[in-house]
């Protein structure tokens, strides 16, 4: 089949863009749908299969999920590129199944991507337009209504979107010409979901009256872009975000006293997007600036956002998911990962790795939570101190202090999560001892 010149030109532009952004190993978010299938083929064509890794997230929502995963693996085998998959359990905790699935995907991407790695996603022009309307309906301001960037930093890696300049119809036409095979997800027709409602009912009607509406929306988004940097053309939001994003996804606020409200809102918007949260309205961004960032130093301000809260700890902001009340403590076990509802996962490992560990023969070992009168002499200290002050001293976040697992031997506190161990209950360095591993629910 002859390839029309416009199709060849689009593919050439996309592959050139991929080449310009590529690194040694390049990851493609691969659902098996039209957009990601087309993008994966363009990436392999541009870079060669050895430099491309397809990452498939199996959400387990659809009864066809296993079949889709097999389809994706077959496509990658045919292309000769590496295929990685991750299975997740999507928990809708009030933010909607779409948002929950999206958050799960990005958590998987973060685990798969190396430092400074590149992840390519198949977002296109119609996705831009749909996102614009969804944010508009949430009351987003100029910052929220700007376009998705073609390249952006997220945690420790980069995201590139090489298809943002073309429509879904153009992608489908080229894919058919190339003989590509892709998955059609039946849920895309379910208009109970906002994006599908826009895609199936609102935007087709809009196109009958204004056929060039995509170009107009794109023009509007480009005109809004300078609003992000108003009052200071030298304010580079991505550069600011890069050196302010902490290892635990907090936003460091040091030396922001001279920032305008508009600049802080722009920075907040970029940070929340980078950690997978929905774009808030301008009113909500303003509330975070007014009531959290500009709160007095000794305050513990909270602003609700989605299925969690924006909180401040020291010089940083955090988004903290709402958590259930802690459940009953599990029985003490060794070398078994145990889930403690509302607290997290705890493992007591037998080790001789040189770190300070507890004696194996301590009697009556059991878990508790804080009651308010605990004392301990931590390793490296000459005197005992109350746990409240120790947690403050070690900068444990306030919302975790009542959820940190405490290990007791009888009535003696011997370990505080994986943060502190008692100097009075240590194992001999050359012998096997007990080391706590805690993955909190934060």
Element housing 253 (H / E): none
Q: Which two tokens stand for residue 418?
A: 């994986």
Give the tokens for residue 212: 């060039």
For 345-358, what is each residue's pLDDT tens digit? Answer: 999 999 887 788 99
Cβ atoms < 10 Å from Cβ of 35? 21
Q: Residue 20: how many CB atoms within 10 A of its CB?
A: 11
Q: Smallest Cα–Cα separation from 341: which of 354, 356, 329?
A: 329
- Is 344 strand, coil or helix? strand
Strand partners, 440: 344
pLDDT at residue 235, as a whole number: 63
- DSSP assigned state of 49: G
Question: CA–CA separation, 438 vs 403, rounded Å?
Answer: 11
Domains and CATH numbers, the chain: 5-223 (3.40.50.620), 229-321 (1.20.59.20), 338-440 (3.50.40.10)
Q: Give the model's pLDDT for residue 232.
A: 42
- Rounded-to-integer distance, Cα 398 and Cα 63, Å: 41
From first to last of the 442 residues of the chain, give the pLDDT tens digit: 578 888 988 999 899 889 888 888 899 999 999 999 999 999 999 999 999 999 999 887 788 889 999 999 999 999 999 999 988 776 555 556 777 777 788 888 888 888 888 999 999 999 999 988 988 888 877 767 877 778 877 778 888 999 998 999 999 999 999 999 999 887 788 888 888 899 999 999 999 999 988 888 887 887 676 544 444 444 678 888 888 888 888 999 988 888 888 888 889 988 998 887 877 777 788 889 988 998 887 788 898 888 889 999 888 999 988 877 899 999 999 999 999 998 989 999 998 877 889 999 999 999 999 998 899 999 988 899 999 999 988 888 888 999 999 999 999 999 999 999 999 999 988 889 999 999 876 4
pLDDT at 90: 65
What's the pLDDT score for residue 256? 87
């Amino acid at each position: 089949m002859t390839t029309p010149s416009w199709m060849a030109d689009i593919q050439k532009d996309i592959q050139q863009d991929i080449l310009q952004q590529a690194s040694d190993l390049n990851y493609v978010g691969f659902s098996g749908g039209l957009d990601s299938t087309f993008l994966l083929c363009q990436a392999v064509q541009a870079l060669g299969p050895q430099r491309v890794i397809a990452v498939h997230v199996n959400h387990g929502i659809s009864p066809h999920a296993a079949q889709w995963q097999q389809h994706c693996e077959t496509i990658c085998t045919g292309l000769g590129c590496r295929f990685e998959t991750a299975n997740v359990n999507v928990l809708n905790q009030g933010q909607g199944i779409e948002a929950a699935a999206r958050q799960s995907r990005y958590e998987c991407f973060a685990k798969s991507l190396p430092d400074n790695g590149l992840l390519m996603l198949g977002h296109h022009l119609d996705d831009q337009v749909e996102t614009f309307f969804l944010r508009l309906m949430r009351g987003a301001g100029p910052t929220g209504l700007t376009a998705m960037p073609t390249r952006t930093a997220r945690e420790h890696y980069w995201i590139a979107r090489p298809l943002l300049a073309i429509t879904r119809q153009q992608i489908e036409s080229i894919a058919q010409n190339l003989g590509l095979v892709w998955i059609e997800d039946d849920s895309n027709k379910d208009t109970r979901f906002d994006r599908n409602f826009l895609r199936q009912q609102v935007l087709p009607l809009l196109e009958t009256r204004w056929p060039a509406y995509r170009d107009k929306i794109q023009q509007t988004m480009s005109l809004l872009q300078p609003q992000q940097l108003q009052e200071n053309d030298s304010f580079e939001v991505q550069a600011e975000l890069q050196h302010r994003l902490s290892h635990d996804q907090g936003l460091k606020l040091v030396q922001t006293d001279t920032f305008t409200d508009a600049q802080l809102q722009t920075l907040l918007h970029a940070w929340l997007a980078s950690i997978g949260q929905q774009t808030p309205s301008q009113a909500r961004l303003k509330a975070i600036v007014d009531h959290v960032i500009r709160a007095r130093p000794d305050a513990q301000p909270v602003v609700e956002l989605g299925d969690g809260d924006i909180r401040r700890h020291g010089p940083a902001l955090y988004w903290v998911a709402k958590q259930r009340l802690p459940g009953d403590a599990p029985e003490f076990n060794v070398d078994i990962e145990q889930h403690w509802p509302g607290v997290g996962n705890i493992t007591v490992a037998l080790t001789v790795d040189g770190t300070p560990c507890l004696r194996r023969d301590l009697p009556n070992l059991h878990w508790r939570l804080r009651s308010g009168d605990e004392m301990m002499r931590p390793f490296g200290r000459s005197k005992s101190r109350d746990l409240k002050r120790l947690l403050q001293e070690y900068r444990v976040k306030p919302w975790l202090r009542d959820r940190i697992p405490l290990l007791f031997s009888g009535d003696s506190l011997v370990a505080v999560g994986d943060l502190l161990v008692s100097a009075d209950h240590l194992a001999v360095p050359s012998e096997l001892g007990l080391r706590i591993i805690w993955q909190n629910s934060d």
